[in-house]
Every structure is written in structure tokens, then in C-alpha cells.
Amino acid sequence: MIEAAIYGYGNIGSGVAEVIEKNQDRIEKAAGQGVHVKYVLDLREFEGDPVQEKLVHDVDVIVNDPEVKIICETMGGNEPAYTFTKKALMAGKSVCTSNKELVANHGAELIKIAEEHRCNYFFEASVGGGIPIIRTLNSALKQENILSISGIVNGTTNYILTKMEKDGAAFDEVLREAQEKGFAERNPEADVEGYDACRKIAILSSLMSGKTVDYKDIYTEGITKLTTTDFLYAEKMEMTVKLLAMSRQTQEGYLTMVTPMLIGPENPLCSVNGVFNAISVKGNMLGDSMYYGRGAGKLPTASAVVADVVEAARFMGTHLPIDWSEEKAVLAKMPLSRRRFFVRLDRNKVPEARAAAEFGNGRVVFLEQCPDEYGYITPVMSEGEFAEKFEKLDGAITRIRMEE
């Protein structure tokens, strides 16, 4: 029997305890021995819950117990998770985490510490919830040169955008409903501003490049400025708007960003709706592949943590290498990247001929519901050139990037 501990008994932590309990036979078969949760670390008390017997408030009780070999870190946030994780790894205990913030901030360093102490730092649950994307990149696609990764990696925003599209509901209204249903956090900033997706694509890009892609260097735009009118235009163009997290190899380095993007029905991400996530990976030999599933939620995420626990148990005493060094990856400069843009323009201030003169020959889109404005699809142009023209143009209402 392998003794394990859980750091943090919140939504995911309690899910991990549940998965270990309910699937113990499967886990024993897969890991070669049973897994037993000896301790749960949390500041709170859980009177009446059986977990109370295992509850400790001092991390050192766990770190100093030689019987404990595996830690599930489901605390979230940087501190104290960072300090507690380091302590565990330095004591030779493998850590399996769902904490994307910590992985994005210190992934390479924690992997190195694990290597030095012949244990493992695994983070399957940090991206895509129950979708096994990390293990896919680290093992099944190890032989591939990954050319690009793009996907929907935030369930909350995808739920909101789907509702805006299908029900014509306003952003604030859907956000409130998502909070009431428990999909969105009370403080939804990390989701709706794209910060959560940014950390996830930083992790995926780091695995893609083998170096560190710092999330602070990633261009990130959330969904708060999108309106129901934008979706009416999207419908007219037989497209939809998704919050995409993307990373692509270019000659200038990795072009990585998080942004709302107009995509057409030929893109399989177009039909990924609600809280679901999907990640599309292009390898140089493989071509396109796609991974789809529940990107958030207690049990899907906990299941991914437990998958790492099984791996840690199977390879106890061995460090499984993960190609992610602390060296910074070279990132391409956003202003040089090229694409089409959809711009909404005030018809009285910017007549159609002026749009063509400003942006080049494009396509005009009219919406019956909005006679005082029109949409304009620009030709392919650089971000820098577009931004300069758009920002100076009196009468420019909004803009959305379009997939290439």
C-alpha cells in the first residue's frame, strides 16, 4: 500500500479523495499496489466529515512522515503551495498537482528539484481538466515536432460565449447565471480576462518548446468586451467567436496568445460548446489531432490528478524526465503577426469607401438590426499596422481577430 496525502480539501482535493476511494480496485491494478490517503492538509476543520480523522494543519507532519510517498497538491495559487511543494519534492515525495498558476510560474524549477531528488512533479490536471493533454504531449507525441497548439482551455468563458451565441444573452447576464450555477467563480476575473487560459497555454507552449514560455510575456485578451451584436455579425458570416489560446512555431519564435477569435464551421473548435474544452495539436509528422472533454469540474479534474498518482506509484524511486528547462523560449513579436480582422465601423463617420482606403480591399457586412454601422473584414495585415489604423480611426467601434 502506498501512503499519499492531499494538500487542500476544496472542490478538487475532496474529488481526489473520492476518486481514490471509489476506484480503488482500478487504481490498485494500474499502480501495482493500493493507494491510501493518510493525511489531508487544510486550515479548516471538517466536523462530521470522515476526513476529519486525517486532517492536519501543519505541512511538516506530512513532509516528515517517511511513509508518505505521494502528495496531491490541490490548494491552488502560488503560496503556500510553492513552499509546500518544494518541501515535499526535497523530501523525495512525488507531487501531483492541478495548480496551473504554480506550474506556469515554477514548472521548470519544480521538475528540476524532482529530478534531483529522484521523484516526480506531475501536472496533468493543470490544463484541460480531465483531458489527458499533458501526458499526450510528454509521451504519445514525444517523437513529434509540435508545430502548433490551439484550443479552448477555459470552460467558464466557453459556457458564457455559447450562451451569448445560442440565446442572444448579454455578457453580464450570462456571467451572473454561470455564477449562480457554480460554473463561474465568485471572482471571475481570471477566467473572463483570459488569465487562466494564458497560464494554461504557457504550460502547453513550454512543453512544446522544451523551454519556459513565461505567461507574463503572452498577449492576453479576455471576453469582457464582446457583445450580443458581435454574435449577430458572427452568425451573418456563418462563424462564431471563441476564446482561443494559441501557440505556433514561426521563424521569429513562438507566437503565443489568448484572444477572442472569429472561427468558421470548418474549424472543429467551432462546435465545442458549453463548459467543454478542446485542444488541437499539429505535429510535423502527425498532422492535426484534437483532444476533447470536460475541462473543469471536481471529478474530471480529480481523475487527472489520480492518473498522475498512479504514474508516480508505478515509477516510485525513478524520475521520469519532462522536457521543460528554465531557459526562456524565444517568442515572436505580436505586432508582426498577420491575419484578417473584423472591424465594426460607425457608418456616419466612416463610409465604406473610407474603410477600403484605410484597411485595403476587404468585405462589407451589413446587419439589418444595426443600420448605423457595418462590419468590415480586412485583408490579411500585420497586427501592428492594423492597430495603428484602428486606434486612430474616429468611428471604429470594435474589432475581433479572425482565424488565418
Cell numbers placing 21 = 476511494
DSSP calls for 105-121: HHHHHHHHHHHHTT--E
Residue 15 CB, nearest approach to ligand HSE (Å): 12
Site for ligand HSE contains 230 (CB under 6 A) = no
154-162, 201-209, 254-262, 352-360 -> range binding ligand HSE (CB under 6 A): 154-162
Residues 6+ away with beta carbon under 8 Å from 271: 265
Check if 225 is active-site. Answer: no
Q: Per rule CB under 6 A, is residue 378 in the interface with ligand HSE?
A: no
Closest CB to ligand HSE among residues 131, 329: 131
Using rule CB under 6 A, residue 154 touches ligand HSE:
yes
Nearer to ligand HSE, 300 or 362 (CB): 300
Among the listed ranges 130-138, 149-157, 217-225, 247-255, the one in contact with ligand HSE (CB under 6 A) is 149-157
Residue 295 interacting with ligand HSE (CB under 6 A): yes
What is the distance between the alpha carbons of residues 199 and 150, in angstroms, rounded to a whole number?
A: 14
Question: At its nearest, how many Å lie between ligand HSE and the CB of residue 159?
Answer: 8
Q: Applying CB under 6 A, does 383 fall inside the site for ligand HSE?
A: no
Q: How far, CA to CA in Å, does 333 sit from each of 250, 377, 383?
A: 10, 23, 10
3-state secondary structure of 398: strand
Contact between residue 293 and residue 277 where contact means Cβ atoms under 8 Å apart: yes
d(CA 323, CA 112): 10
> Rounded to the nearest whole angstrom, what is the least distance from the CB of residue 295 to ligand HSE in the complex?
5
Measuring CA to CA, which residue among 11, 8, 187, 195 is closest to residue 104? 195
Q: Report which of 245, 203, 222 is spatially closest to residue 108, judged by C-alpha positions.
A: 203
Q: Coil, helix or strand for 78?
A: coil
Min dist. Cβ of residue 96 to ligand HSE (A):
16
**Which segment (153-161, 172-180, 209-217, 356-364) binds ligand HSE by CB under 6 A?**
153-161
Distance between CA atoms of 312 and 54, rounded to whole angstroms?
22
Supply the DSSP string of 126-174, one letter for each residue. GSSTTS-HHHIIIIITTTS-EEEEEEE--HHHHHHHHHHHHH---HHHH
Question: CA-to-CA distance for 373 and 54, rounded, in angstroms?
Answer: 63
C-alpha cell at 182: 457554480
Which residues, including other chains, have CB under 8 Å from residue 351's CB and lie 6 or more apart? none
Calculate Rg over the CA atoms of the chain. 23
**Interaction with ligand HSE in 172-211: which residues (CB under 6 A)?**
191, 196
Q: Pick from 296, 306, 312, 393: which binds ligand HSE (CB under 6 A)?
A: 296
Stretch that binds ligand HSE, among 15-23, 150-158, 265-273, 279-287 (CB under 6 A): 150-158
CB of 9 to ligand HSE, least distance (A): 18
Q: Considering only residues 8, 13, 15, 155, which one is a binding residue for ligand HSE as defined by CB under 6 A?
A: 155
As a whole number of angstroms, the distance between CA 87 and CA 59 comes to 9
From the list 156, 209, 256, 280, which residue makes contact with ligand HSE (rule: CB under 6 A)? 156
Query: Considering 200, 211, 242, 389, which one is annotated as catalytic?
Result: 200
Q: Which residue number, 260 or 295, has a Cβ lying nearer to ligand HSE?
A: 295
Least gap, CB of 66 to ligand HSE (angstroms): 33
One-character DSSP codes across 200-265: HHHHHHHHHHSSB--GGGSEE--STT--HHHHHHHHHTT-EEEEEEEEEEETTEEEEEEEEEEE-T
Cβ closer to ligand HSE: 159 or 342?
159
Considering the complex, state which of residue 15 and residue 295 has its C-beta at the smaller distance from ligand HSE. 295
Number of residues that bind ligand HSE (CB under 6 A): 8
Q: Of 129 and 260, which CB lies nearer to ligand HSE in the complex structure?
A: 129
Return the closest-CA partner of residue 306 out of 36, 10, 1, 77: 36
Residue 145 vs residues 118, 124, 128, 162: alpha-carbon distances, Å? 28, 20, 21, 33
Q: Contacting ligand HSE (CB under 6 A), which of 15, 129, 222, 362?
A: 129
| 393 residue type, one letter | L
Q: Name the one range near ligand HSE by CB under 6 A: 37-45, 65-73, 148-156, 375-383.
A: 148-156
Site string for ligand HSE, 250-289 (x = CB under 6 A): ----------------------------------------
- Interacting stretch for ligand HSE, rule CB under 6 A, among 13-21, 77-85, 151-159, 304-312? 151-159
Residues annotated as part of the active site: 200
Q: Which residues bind ligand HSE (CB under 6 A)?
A: 129, 154-156, 191, 196, 295-296
